[in-house]
Amino acid sequence: MSTLPFDSPSRRWERKNSQSWRQPQAAHRSRRSILIAIACILCLGLWHHTRSSPPSLSPNRHELGEGDADFLSLIDRRSLPEDADWPFVAPAVDRTHPKSFKPEVKSILHSEGTEEEDQRLVFEENSQNSVDTEGTVSDTGASPNQATNDLPLEPGIVVTSGDGSGDIFIEPQIVEVPPDRLQKGPVAVQANLDPETEKAPLISSPDQPVKEKIIEAEPLDHLSLEEKADSLPEVVHIPFEDAVKDEVLHGWEDDWVAHASYDSKKWGKLEEPKIDFVYLWVNGSEESFQRTKRPFEENSVLNDEDGKWIKSHGVNRYRDWDELRYSLRSVERYASDFRNKIQIVVNSVDGTEAGKQVPSWLNNERATREVVQVIAQEEFFDREKHACLPTFNSLTIENQLFNTPSDTDYLYALSDDMLLGKQHAASDIYSPLFGSVMGFKTNAYSTTQPPSEVDAQRFGEKPYLIYTSWLLNRRFGIRKRKGQGHFGHALSRKIMREAISSFPGPELQSACKRFRGEPGFQLYSWYVTFHYLIERHREALLWSYIMLRSDVDNDGNLSWEERQTMMQDLEAGMKNEGRTTFRRRNYYHVHQLLQKAGLQSPKVNTDVLWTSLDGPATIQNADCIEFDVNECLAPGFSVSSTDAFSKNPVFSTSNVFDRLARQEPKCGDCLLKLILNKTPKGLAPLLPRADTQARQRELVIKAVMRYRFSIINPDALFVMVTDAEQVDSTLVNRYVRGKKQLAGQLCLNDDVSTNDPQELADVKQAMTELYNGLFPDPSPFEK
């Protein structure tokens, strides 16, 4: 057999999402020694082949004969080409890319060249990205000469073409693979959302029936989890029926969704929600924390022989200016009316009474323990992921925050350097009518190629935004998506769980990154949750209109009569296109609508830019004057003759839905916008009919309520703290001595670069003066 899987001396470095530019010198091996070893194995294989009879081939092209060796037993499952005559090929490998890089594939049947040339045939990078002036990562597309006979996901079979000293001809061989060994990629994947019975996603494909695989009960070792992550699909689709199965309606939601109306006389006043405030906190100067962290630093792949990384990395990420004490003071002053629990997420450490980091100023009285919960990572990470603990990477911890135990679904995630500056209402963060409140920056991202080594080296959060943008594009279609604001994040635990569960491979990979900057990319929890929420709301409305409302006979195909009804809807909406005042803009009336339902209106985030009650956020600036049903919905959509004698598969509701939801997102945006133009307010024209489709309508109402949201321009101030003089002149002088009104939210990000003890002491003194000046009154939780 001429296919030889490489057995790496270091499993971590051979994983396909590793980054060669970050490998230590010990990870590099002499090319010549590897090639000599490969040549010896090839010779042994050829010698053995000449002494044995040729393998018998089954007449069924996806089956092996009884005597055939099953080479797939040596490696993970791979997607293989359909044609039985395919030759073995060696995919090009970019060791920096994440799991599902689709490498360029080149047939290697005969090779002449030097040792270096032969090595390039095995490891060849092929990735081109560019960044536009708006900070948006855009794809230049695949090369027109790129081969189409790709082996998806990763290079599991490596073929060498020679040892550098002579010519070796490798005869193409046909290997027939049994159906249960084929994985063509997920067609429909169900993801389990129940944390008590967590299961691996279920994959169904044309050759593979749906199966259920229970995750092992006992924790795996760290590297085994990383390897398991490589075997999981990167993107899965969660059916709406599964997503909303636990949603409960109270009766008022139908009128609210359909007509943007709440009848308080009929339904009474709504109850103000309770919201958890969740902090990530670490005291990096604590000796027990340093002792706990040190052995993991020394064993990290980022460590170098001189120890420079250990000395320099993340000093400002672990430094403590006592910010948490004052942040809690701000919450008690400005948000105590709706504050539920305060959860402080910390590291477990050795040599302390509690076994975890606890703020030294936090008292241990019963009243405090009832409100303030100090939670170690082991107390909320999934048990399977305990093998990856402890972690010192905030991105890893953030991806698990939906698991923090609580009696409420809603949380407000904060870093300890974030404070509230004004009185808040619950609706500044979340409301029963408009859902979670989200704020975005102006820069947007749209990554259409797998992230590259260049992307991995970008500053700050950009590598994770780029990577997560690539995943979102694959799941929901290509579009620019703005980065989230750098302030507190309003989240629903169940939405965050669903969003992260939709990317099982990247999620598990992210859980195993102990330090920021380790090889590979990470799922960015805030970015993926916010945009997943926006996209699922849009997707629910497309699903409702195409799959349910328009398919009157429920046969999965749009007949000529059903298509005529859709075109009449679109024509009616087109008449109002361009009339900016025809549809009531609910985002201008959030204050009145909340008060009418008995809820407090926002006190800080009053500049509302959009609500889900106005429709999908993506329709706000959609230009739909030239919308064409034959281009957008299906070829021949407007012609009756295309399915006069038999059903035409292009009019399948699932095909039209996927086209509008993912393949041609702008077409989907315009269809939604034009249909909504039929009515001045509400989403009624997109919903199943109340009289004849009651069950389907209830399902859609549950989905639309589950994915409700509002987008705001936050009242916030962000400051990069650099030195004591800056703090004194721009913050203390202005807001403490000058009594100037603070913004609604304040983030003082530690960007102090000096290591001089006196300068650091000066900064600490200036920060203490600022915090004491702004929040002089202790909270009831302090000693």
Q: What pLDDT was estimated at residue 311? A: 79
Mean pLDDT of 454-470: 92
Residue 126's pLDDT band (cuts 50, 70, 90): very low
If one counts every other C-beta atom within 10 angstroms of the C-beta of residue 588, the result is: 11
Same-domain status, 155 and 36: yes
Tens of pLDDT along 139-151? 434 343 443 333 3
**Does position 442 have pLDDT exceeding 50, yes or no?**
yes
Same-domain status, 98 and 201: no
φ and ψ of 738, to 5 deg: -85, -10
The tally of CA atoms less than 13 A away on the side-chain side of residue 5 is 15
Note whether residue 427 is domain-resident.
Answer: no
Q: Please report, for the chain, how many H helices and E strands are present, in that order.
A: 26, 19
Mean pLDDT of 252-276: 97
Q: What pLDDT was estimated at residue 549? A: 98
- The residues that bridge with 130 in the sheet, in sequence order, are 138
**Does position 773 have pLDDT exceeding 80, yes or no?**
yes
Q: What pLDDT was estimated at residue 317? A: 61
Same-domain status, 152 and 26: yes
**Does position 473 have pLDDT exceeding 80, yes or no?**
yes
Where does residue 219 rank: exposed (0-12), middle (13-18), buried (19+ CB within 10 A)?
A: middle
Tens of pLDDT along 544-578? 999 999 999 999 999 999 999 999 999 999 999 98
Q: Which residue has the higher pLDDT, 216 or 444?
A: 444
Same-domain status, 36 and 163: yes
Where does a domain end: 165, 184, 203? 184
- Structure tokens that stand for 181 in this block: 């060994």
Q: What pLDDT was estimated at residue 736? A: 96
Residue 220's pLDDT band (cuts 50, 70, 90): low
Q: What pLDDT was estimated at residue 721? A: 95
Q: Which residue has the higher pLDDT, 99 or 479?
A: 479
Write out the DSSP string of 447-493.
--S---HHHHTSSTTHHHHHHHHHHHHHHH-S--EEEEPSS-EEEEH
Note whether residue 103 is domain-resident.
Answer: yes
The lowest-confidence range among 198-212, 218-232, 303-317, 673-687 is: 198-212
Q: What pLDDT was estimated at residue 211? A: 38
Exposure string over 351-385, b if 16+ CB within 10 A, otherwise e: eeeeebbbbeebeeeeebeebbbbbbbeebbeebb
Note whether residue 415 is domain-resident.
Answer: no
Same-domain status, 51 and 132: yes
Residue 155's pLDDT band (cuts 50, 70, 90): very low
Where does residue 694 rank: exposed (0-12), middle (13-18), buried (19+ CB within 10 A)?
A: exposed
Mean pLDDT of 15-21: 38
Query: Where do runs of H (alpha helix) occur along 123-221?
Result: none
Same-domain status, 96 and 124: yes
Where does a domain end: 217, 240, 263? 240
**Does position 243 have pLDDT exceeding 80, yes or no?**
yes
Same-domain status, 2 and 146: yes
- The residues that bridge with 78 in the sheet, in sequence order, are 182
| Cβ atoms 549, 693 nearer than 8 A | yes
Model confidence, pTM: 0.74
Split into its structural domains, the chain has a count of 2
Q: What pLDDT was estimated at residue 707? A: 99
Residue 166's pLDDT band (cuts 50, 70, 90): very low
Note whether residue 257 is domain-resident.
Answer: no
Note whether residue 32 is domain-resident.
Answer: yes
Same-domain status, 160 and 194: no
**Does position 74 have pLDDT exceeding 60, yes or no?**
no
Query: With pLDDT > 90 as the criterion, what percentage of the chain qualifies?
Result: 61
**363 three-state secondary structure:** coil
Note whether residue 150 is domain-resident.
Answer: yes
**Does position 239 have pLDDT exceeding 90, yes or no?**
yes
**Does position 471 have pLDDT exceeding 80, yes or no?**
yes
Note whether residue 19 is domain-resident.
Answer: yes
Average pLDDT, the chain: 79
Tens of pLDDT along 321-353? 899 999 999 999 999 999 999 999 999 988 666
**Does position 115 have pLDDT exceeding 60, yes or no?**
no
Q: What pLDDT was estimated at residue 457? A: 84
Same-domain status, 221 and 103: no
Note whether residue 65 is domain-resident.
Answer: yes
Q: What pLDDT was estimated at residue 149? A: 37
- Structure tokens that stand for 329 in this block: 């003071």
The lowest-confidence range among 308-312, 389-393, 455-459, 658-662 is: 308-312
Query: With pLDDT > 70 as the criterion, what percentage of the chain qualifies?
Result: 71
Query: Where do runs of H (alpha helix) occur along 543-599?
Result: 560-574, 590-596
Residue 754's pLDDT band (cuts 50, 70, 90): confident
Where does a domain end: 145, 161, 184? 184
Residue 764 parent element (H or E):
helix 757-774
Tens of pLDDT along 606-646? 999 999 999 999 999 999 999 999 999 999 999 999 999 99
Strands 188-190, 202-204: parallel, antiparallel or unpaired by DSSP?
antiparallel
Tens of pLDDT along 379-392? 999 988 998 999 99
Residue 48's pLDDT band (cuts 50, 70, 90): low
| C-alpha distance from residue 604 to each of 34, 662, 743, 770 (Å) | 63, 36, 8, 22
Q: Which residue has the higher pLDDT, 252 or 186?
A: 252
**Does position 670 have pLDDT exceeding 80, yes or no?**
yes
Range of the domain at 120: 1-184
Same-domain status, 89 and 174: yes
Tens of pLDDT along 575-609? 999 888 899 999 999 999 999 999 999 999 999 99
Strands 430-431, 709-712: parallel, antiparallel or unpaired by DSSP?
unpaired
Same-domain status, 166 and 202: no
Same-domain status, 172 and 30: yes
Q: What pLDDT was estimated at residue 141? A: 40
